[in-house]
Amino acid sequence: MAKRFNIRMAGVGGQGVVTGSHILSTAVIQAGGESTIVPFYGSEKRMAPVESYVRVSDEPIYEIGEITFPHIIIIFHPQVITHGKSYTMPFYFGLKEDGIALINNDGPMSLHKDQARELEERRAKLYYFPATKLSLEVSGMDLCTNMALMGCIGAITGLTTVEALEQSVKDRFLGKGFVVSGGTAALDSVVERKFKKKQELIDKNVAVIQAGWNYAVDHGWAAPTVKRSEARATVGA
């Protein structure tokens, strides 16, 4: 049977939700799979809700449009849940039975009892993953939160590799004619100045991806075939 994951990512402006979904999607294709993305912007501004939809599979994908019934939900920011910063409310709306909610938070959140019950009824697996904390520890900044999450989800789906994710990051930052919105382009240049050199930027992103990947493996979330990424992913020129 085909391995197929429809992934809904919800976060807030500035976190790189769409960038993250591009990197995951490209990495799955790099690894020989199939993937499509649909970004959903409202008003593009910092801390405003952003959603992005990624389909990954090992077979052709024909489906188009937003994902209403995802297999996996990724919550980039706890405020998506606590402040309702989302186009989809409650955050798990449409999650399939036995689905996964990967939530960026330092530990389990206390959900409203109705929400906890509904999640339990559909046998949802709640993975609380300290992506921002991990990003700070590994790269010294919180801007790699999306990379931590993409590393983690890469391992959970088992449809890509750390090496493919690294190549995807390189494509994204070393340029392959990637079309980004004006706002995202401006943010990119700020990030680049902060790191001075692109190489350093890529190194740190990849290190965070690897840390996220291994976190998923260590916690038993990863797909059965997925192994820890031990070798420090080599960063070429």
Question: Is 1 near other proteins (CB under 8 A)?
Answer: yes
Restricted to residues 99-158, the positions that interact with other proteins (CB under 8 A) are none
**Which lies closer to other proteins via its Cβ, residue 38 or residue 235?**
38
Q: How many CB atoms lie within 10 A of CB 105?
A: 18
Element (H, E) at 6: strand 4-12
Question: Is 82 near other proteins (CB under 8 A)?
Answer: no
DSSP string, 70-116: -SEEEESSTHHHHS--SSSSSTTTTPPTT-EEEEESSS-----HHHH
Residue 19 burial (C-beta neighbours within 10 Å; 0-12, 13-18, 19+): buried
Question: Is 177 near other proteins (CB under 8 A)?
Answer: no
CA distance 136 to 114: 33
Residue 39 burial (C-beta neighbours within 10 Å; 0-12, 13-18, 19+): middle
The residues facing 125 across adjacent strands are 100
Contact region with other proteins (CB under 8 A), list: 12-20, 61-69, 76-84, 119-127: 61-69
The single residue among 45, 69, 82, 185 that binds other proteins, judged by CB under 8 A, is 69
Question: Is 2 near other proteins (CB under 8 A)?
Answer: yes
Interface mask toward other proteins for 25-44; x: CB under 8 A: -----------x-x------
At 29, list the tokens: 């294709």
Are the C-beta atoms of 208 and 147 separated by less than 8 Å? yes
**Which lies closer to other proteins via its Cβ, residue 69 or residue 122?**
69
CA distance 136 to 143: 8
**Which lies closer to other proteins via its Cβ, residue 66 or residue 137?**
66
Question: Is 62 near other proteins (CB under 8 A)?
Answer: yes
Question: Is 176 near other proteins (CB under 8 A)?
Answer: no
The size of the interface with other proteins (CB under 8 A), counted in residues, is 15
Question: Is 98 near other proteins (CB under 8 A)?
Answer: no
The single residue among 65, 107, 108, 220 that binds other proteins, judged by CB under 8 A, is 65
Residues in the chain, overall count: 237
The single residue among 43, 64, 220, 231 that binds other proteins, judged by CB under 8 A, is 64
Strand, helix or coil for residue 142: helix
The single residue among 32, 66, 84, 122 that binds other proteins, judged by CB under 8 A, is 66
Q: Which residues here bind other proteins, judged by CB under 8 A?
A: 1-2, 36, 38, 59, 61-69, 94
